[in-house]
């Protein structure tokens, strides 16, 4: 599909190209998990066909479903679409069946021991993510995160960042971008000018970064400068108050931040895309009509996930008609959008490119090299007529996509003689019966609002470990939880830590704990 001439578009169609809407990756309307945010198929068809909306961000569904979904959505538009996804941990993070890498901080931990190997992994991760994304129709990777997560209490960036120092984050982020560049795909450095040093989540509130110019120049900005220097295609804004630049407006709505700093001072000439406009950090600041106009005034080229795309479009259109925004300003964004769309090419859908052996092996290598353990020798499976408990504590059962009855965290201990219990953190058991195995799944994530373990869980752990009621421990996700355990409790029991929470990480962690290779001696053909 060929891009039309910009002169052939009406003003409203040009503004439509500046909007990216959210859609479920599932085929049918009744499969939408978040119908408030995810439009029905008839609504999407209208937006793409009539309003000429320029892009779609997809969440949910399998890789195979997405391959059909992107084709169908493109059929509704006669202009090539941007198909975006938050695939910071590989395509499998969002779309089942594809390769799912551990969080970027896993690679950052490897870098502290072997930077050369970590750079190779980051590059491979970028290349595999790009290859698999294009194979299912995704042409815009909303990664890498180049925030410097130097605040352990950060509830939203956390292990999504490569690390806590600007040099490390910059180098690994650049390696990821370089890995994608053999493919006709777009990348994104986020969240400008840096969301790492906050203890609050901009999905829920508006954080403030109080640092002076010198601190911003030394810590927050260098990873973005590095990403720009290696040719990142887009930069995503953060819904933060950067008080030294603009103490009134969030960066997403600030001309001083987006135009004055990102465009003029850092020299970035690619796409500026807002973070999702449904997030409270900006949505509570002003009305949708006002924030849509303010974001364009600030320097944004693309409005991501406005609550009502047609309202956002009309508000920008009226601002142009009234003279508040110039037609030249719209054309500047359209030129950048057209340049980006000219880079991407419609690829043949090819599911044979998904989860190839080399990709799966690379993910496993990264997971293994990030594992930490207290073990000199593995622990023995229980030999007792009374089944000990395999207690799994997670943050939120309703948002848990890594646990199922057949997943390794449940099935492997079951084969070894454990009786399973799954609870949320606020539902820790009151009694301290023998817990043969405790598995903690916790990490920073959007909308979580807090980092680490709840106070209830912390108190329970201190009591349980003091009474040696727990015989073995696996921590999945946040290294800050492991740090807390080491600092608050004398961890004299066998323990294993892994950054990943997916099935591959579960298998590797439990193999380490129990020393049973691939569990083939327990159940041939399973867990392979």
Annotation marks residue 275 as catalytic: yes
Contact (CB, 8 A) for 311 and 290: no
Name the β-bridge partners of 22.
57
Catalytic residue among 203, 233, 301, 395: 203
Q: What is the CA radius of gyration of the chain?
A: 24
**Burial class of residue 269 (count of CB atoms within 10 Å of its CB; 0-12, 13-18, 19+):** exposed
Q: Is 394 helix (H, G, I), strand (E, B) or coil?
A: strand
Contact (CB, 8 A) for 180 and 343: no
Q: Is 213 helix (H, G, I), strand (E, B) or coil?
A: helix
Q: Is 288 helix (H, G, I), strand (E, B) or coil?
A: helix
Contact (CB, 8 A) for 24 and 52: no
Two structure tokens written together for 248? 């009134």
CA distance 341 to 271: 11
Question: β-strands 188-192, 140-141: how paired?
Answer: unpaired
Catalytic residue among 164, 201, 275, 395: 275
Q: Pick the closest to residue 102 from 159, 175, 182, 174 (CA basis).
A: 159
Q: CB neighbours of 53 closer than 8 A, spacing ≥ 6? A: 16, 17, 19, 20, 21, 47, 77, 309
**Burial class of residue 287 (count of CB atoms within 10 Å of its CB; 0-12, 13-18, 19+):** exposed
Handedness of CA 92, 96, 99, 105 (dihedral sign): positive
Enumerate the active-site residues. 203, 275
């Amino acid at each position: 599909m060929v891009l039309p001439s910009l002169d052939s578009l009406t003003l409203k169609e040009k503004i439509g190209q500046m909007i990216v809407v959210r859609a479920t990756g599932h085929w049918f309307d009744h499969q939408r998990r978040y119908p408030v945010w995810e439009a029905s198929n008839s609504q999407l068809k209208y937006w793409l066909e009539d309003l000429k909306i320029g892009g779609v961000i997809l969440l949910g569904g399998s890789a195979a479903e997405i391959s059909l979904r992107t084709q169908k959505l493109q059929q509704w538009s006669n202009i090539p679409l941007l198909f975006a996804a938050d695939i910071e941990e590989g395509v499998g993070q969002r779309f089942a069946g594809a390769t799912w890498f551990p969080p970027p901080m896993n690679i950052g931990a490897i870098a502290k021991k072997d930077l050369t190997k970590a750079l190779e992994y980051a590059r491979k991760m970028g290349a595999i993510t790009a290859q698999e994304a294009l194979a299912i129709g995704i042409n815009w990777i909303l990664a890498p995160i180049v925030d410097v997560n130097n605040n352990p209490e950060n509830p939203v960036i956390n292990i999504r960042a490569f690390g806590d120092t600007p040099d490390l984050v910059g180098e690994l982020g650049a390696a990821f971008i370089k890995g994608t560049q053999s493919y006709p795909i777009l990348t994104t450095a986020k969240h400008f000018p840096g969301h790492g040093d906050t203890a609050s989540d901009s999905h829920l509130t508006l954080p403030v970064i109080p640092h002076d110019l010198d601190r911003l120049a030394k810590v927050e900005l260098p990873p973005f400068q590095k990403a720009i220097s290696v040719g990142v295609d887009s930069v995503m804004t953060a819904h933060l108050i950067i008080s030294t630049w603009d103490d009134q407006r969030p960066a997403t709505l600030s001309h001083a931040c987006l135009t004055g700093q990102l465009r003029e001072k850092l020299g970035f000439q690619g796409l500026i895309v807002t973070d999702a406009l449904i997030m409270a950090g900006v949505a509570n600041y002003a009305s949708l009509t006002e924030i849509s106009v303010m974001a364009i005034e600030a320097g944004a080229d693309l409005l991501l996930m406005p609550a009502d795309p047609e309202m956002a479009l009309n508000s920008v259109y009226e601002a142009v008609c009234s003279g508040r925004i110039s037609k030249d300003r719209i054309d500047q964004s359209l030129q950048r959008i057209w340049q980006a769309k000219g880079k991407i090419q419609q690829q043949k859908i090819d599911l044979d490119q998904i989860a190839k052996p080399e990709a799966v092996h690379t993910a496993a290598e990264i997971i293994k090299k990030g594992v930490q353990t207290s073990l000199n020798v593995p622990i023995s499976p229980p030999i007792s007529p009374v089944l000990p408990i395999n207690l799994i504590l997670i943050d939120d059962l309703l948002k848990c996509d890594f646990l199922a009855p057949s997943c390794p965290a449940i099935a492997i201990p079951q084969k070894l003689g454990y009786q399973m219990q799954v609870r949320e953190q606020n539902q820790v058991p009151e009694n301290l019966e023998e817990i043969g195995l405790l598995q903690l799944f916790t990490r920073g994530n959007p909308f979580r609002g807090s980092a680490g373990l709840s106070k209830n869980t912390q108190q329970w752990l201190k009591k349980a470990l003091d009474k040696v009621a727990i015989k073995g421990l696996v921590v999945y996700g946040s290294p800050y939880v492991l740090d807390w355990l080491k600092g608050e409790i004398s961890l004299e029991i066998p323990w294993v830590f892994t950054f990943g929470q997916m099935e591959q990480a579960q298998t590797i962690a439990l193999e380490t704990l129990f020393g049973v290779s691939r569990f083939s001696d327990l159940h041939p053909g399973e867990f392979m």
